[in-house]
Amino acid sequence: MHKTLALPVTVVAIALGFLISIQAQTQKNVSAAEQISADRMTQMKSVLANSLAQNATLQKDHSSLLEQLDTARKKVGTDPQLLAELAQLQMVEGTQAVEGPGIQISIDDRDKKVLYPLSTDDLATMINTLKFAGAEAISINGQRIVSSTAIVLSGSSTIFVNQVPINRADGIPYELSVIGDQDTLFDYFSKLEAPNLKQDNKTVSIARKTLRIPSYKGMYTFKNAVPVIVP
Amino acid sequence: MRLNKKEQYLLGFASLLLGFLFIILLKANGVAGSQVTPQEAVARLIQTEQENQQLSIGNEKIKQELVKYDQGQSAWDLANEQLKEAQMNAGLIGLTGPGVQITQDDSKRAANAQEDSACFIVHEKDIRGILNALWNGGAEAIVVNGQRVTTNTEVFCSGLYIQINGTQQKPPYVIEAIGDTNILSGALKFYGWDKLGDLEQQLGITRKPPEVLSNIVIPAGKLRDYHSAKPTTEGT
């Protein structure tokens, strides 16, 4: 009887010894990793807080500068009609923030049943449909869509719009704000785009709202193109 | 196998310890494997930093304008200058410069019974893909079959034709873009040009290699009336 027991006990003892040593090793690694990650997180948070504070200051500067500009223009007596025309054009090219009636679209693709997370192609298709529906201004997660907006993927999941990553860490992953004729926008989007998204278990909600859409913060550059001289 | 009491205790204790250690080990590994939060913070940071950069540029532009007002530059001149710039940005001015030309046409070969005829035509998605790649490559102006691509331009499939700027367009589709020709060609290659090449070989969709042209003329786009959007009075 004692002979038959010798083997299992030996095996158990070896396994035990093995596990204890792995355990000790892992515990050490984990605490080291936790330490590093906590350190990084604190650093990251302070850098982020810095950056956010800077952002707030810049925003404040921006609005006060706009005010100054407005008064300066009034003082020199710039033709109001010319300014109105300018504002109209800047609304079209996107450097002017706009407000008006439209729809807000929220898309959530975090559900486990979603096979394909929202892709750059999906976004491009949605924007195209909205333009087809006569949208006057569009933004995705705060990035204004203008003529030269490119939507590209970087790495495996980071989506860049206007060269800015738009992925969100928390909250609804994608929010599109669209200004235009509410009924047309709602109709076109709910019939042409929403069904495809819902089919893949993505959550889509469309709300009629009065919206504010921020301006395009990028730059238009013309280094190669020169205006055609009209005789 | 029969064990005496002492041996039973020993074995029981050993098994307990084994199970306990396993659980701790699993937990420890789980902790080590879930460190996503810093990455999310990084994304947020990049976003804010880039927005800050954009804002600083914008603020700088306004400051320059204010300086010009202070210097007493003619208000009319200044406003006109800005108007010109806005028209240029909005695509309302015809432009000329070096660029690339891309031509795509439906396949001349008819689909046989086993093939899907939808694969033999150029789709609006292909065109949009090329436009996206070109913009990403820093294109300054783009035209498709004579239609200037502006903020409001749709490239929408309407069955028999592709609708661009409200007009019906049929193949061949000729896309022309003004910009740095090296960067434009590179961007095209990077985003899908080779994939389209495979399609061409399999199905005979005509796709000429991008032609680099020293002088492309791109017509002005049309201004659309806005009814819903109004400029905001404050904020960006």
Q: Could you report the per-residue pLDDT of B20-42, keeping only the tens digit for each? A: 878 877 776 655 544 446 666 77
- φ and ψ of A168, to 5 deg: -110, 145
> What is the average pLDDT across A129-149?
93
| pLDDT tens string A72-128 | 877 777 778 888 888 899 999 998 899 999 999 999 988 888 888 889 999 999 999
Residues B83 and B116 in one domain: no
Q: Which of B7, B40, B87 sits opposite A89 (nearest CB)?
A: B87
Of the residues B52, B228, B234, the best mutation for testing chain A's interface (the one with the most A CB atoms within 10 Å of its CB) is B228
Q: Which residue of A has its CA nearest to B82?
A: A86
Residues B21 and B128 in one domain: no
Q: How far is CA B52 from CA A21, B58, B62, in A?
A: 50, 10, 15
Q: Which of B48, B89, B232 sits opposite A98 (nearest CB)?
A: B232
Tell whether B223 is covered by a domain.
no
Choice between B104 and A120, residue whose per-residue pLDDT is larger: A120
Q: Which of B41, B63, B236 sits opposite A48 (nearest CB)?
A: B41
Pull the structure tokens for residue A67: 């005010």
Residues B20 and B102 in one domain: no
| Contact between chains at A41 and B14 (C-beta distance less than 8 A) | no
Residues B142 and B101 in one domain: yes
A103 bridge partner residues: A178, A208
* Whether residue A1 has pLDDT greater than 60: no
Pure H helices in chain A? 2-76, 80-93, 120-132, 182-188, 194-199
| Contact between chains at A230 and B94 (C-beta distance less than 8 A) | yes
* Whether residue B144 has pLDDT greater than 70: yes
Chain B, residues 180-199, CB within 8 A of chain A, namely 180, 191
* Whether residue B115 has pLDDT greater than 90: no
Of the residues A93, A167, A226, the best mutation for testing chain B's interface (the one with the most B CB atoms within 10 Å of its CB) is A93
* Whether residue A19 has pLDDT greater than 60: yes
DSSP character at residue B140: S
For residue B35, the model assigns a pLDDT of 46
DSSP character at residue B118: G
Residues B117 and B146 in one domain: yes
| Contact between chains at A98 and B231 (C-beta distance less than 8 A) | yes
Question: Where are any strands of DSSP class E within A147-202?
Answer: 151-154, 158-161, 164-165, 174-179
Q: Which of B14, B156, B217 sits opposite A128 (nearest CB)?
A: B156
| Contact between chains at A92 and B223 (C-beta distance less than 8 A) | yes
| Helix, coil or strand: residue B215 | strand
Residues B70 and B137 in one domain: no
Tell whether B205 is covered by a domain.
yes
A176 bridge partner residues: A105, A140
Judge contact between B206 and B106, C-beta under 8 A: yes
Choice between B159 and A145, residue whose per-residue pLDDT is larger: A145
Residues B104 and B186 in one domain: yes
Which residues, 6 or more positions from A132, have their beta carbon under 8 angstroms from its beta carbon?
A188, B154, B156, B163
d(CA A65, CA B236): 11
| pLDDT tens string B151-167 | 999 999 887 889 999 89
Query: Smallest Cα–Cα separation from A224: which of B141, B121, B13?
Result: B141
Chain A hits for B17, Cβ within 8 Å:
16
Chain A, residues 201-230, CB within 8 A of chain B, namely 212-215, 217-228, 230
Total residues found in chain A within this entry: 231
d(CA A161, CA A44): 24
Chain A, residues 95-134, CB within 8 A of chain B, namely 95-102, 121, 124-125, 128-129, 131-132
d(CA A195, CA A201): 10
Per DSSP, the residues of B64-114 read HHHHHHHTT--HHHHHHHHHHHHHHHTT-S-EEEEEEEEEEE--SSPP-TT
Instruction: Judge if pTM exceeds 0.90.
Output: no
Residues B159 and B201 in one domain: yes
Residues B120 and B27 in one domain: no
Q: Which of A63, A135, A169 sits opposite B234 (nearest CB)?
A: A63
Chain A hits for B83, Cβ within 8 Å:
82, 85-86, 89
Q: Which of A82, A218, A230 sits opposite B79 (nearest CB)?
A: A82
By 3-state DSSP, what share of chain B in percent is helix, strand and coil, each rounded to 5? 50, 20, 30
B11 touching A, CB under 8 A? yes
> What is the average pLDDT across B57-80?
81
Chain B, residues 207-226, CB within 8 A of chain A, namely 217-218, 223-224, 226
Q: Mean pLDDT for chain A?
A: 87
Indicate if the alpha-carbon torsion angle A183, A138, B94, B75 is positive or negative.
positive
B230 bridge partner residues: A99
Query: Smallest Cα–Cα separation from A134: which of B232, B165, B157?
Result: B165
Lowest mean pLDDT among A46-60, B124-138, B158-172, B200-214: B200-214
Residues B112 and B69 in one domain: no
| Contact between chains at A26 and B51 (C-beta distance less than 8 A) | no
Residues B118 and B47 in one domain: no
Evaluate the omega torsion of the peptide bond into residue B38 and state whether it is cis, within 30 degrees of 0.
Answer: no
* Whether residue B183 has pLDDT greater than 70: yes
Tell whether B234 is covered by a domain.
no
Q: Which residue of B has its CA nearest to A215?
A: B236
> What is the average pLDDT across A14-32?
83
* Count: domains in chain B: 3
Residues B24 and B46 in one domain: no
Tell whether B211 is covered by a domain.
yes
Tell whether B229 is covered by a domain.
no
A163 touching B, CB under 8 A? yes
Tell whether B228 is covered by a domain.
no
> What is the average pLDDT across B121-136?
88
Q: Position of tokens 């400051």?
A: B63
Judge contact between B205 and B91, C-beta under 8 A: no
Chain B hits for A37, Cβ within 8 Å:
35, 38
CATH of the domain at B121: 3.30.70.1880
Containing structural domain, residue B138: 95-218
| Contact between chains at B75 and A78 (C-beta distance less than 8 A) | yes
Total residues found in chain B within this entry: 236
Tell whether B159 is covered by a domain.
yes
d(CA A94, CA A218): 10
Tell whether B227 is covered by a domain.
no
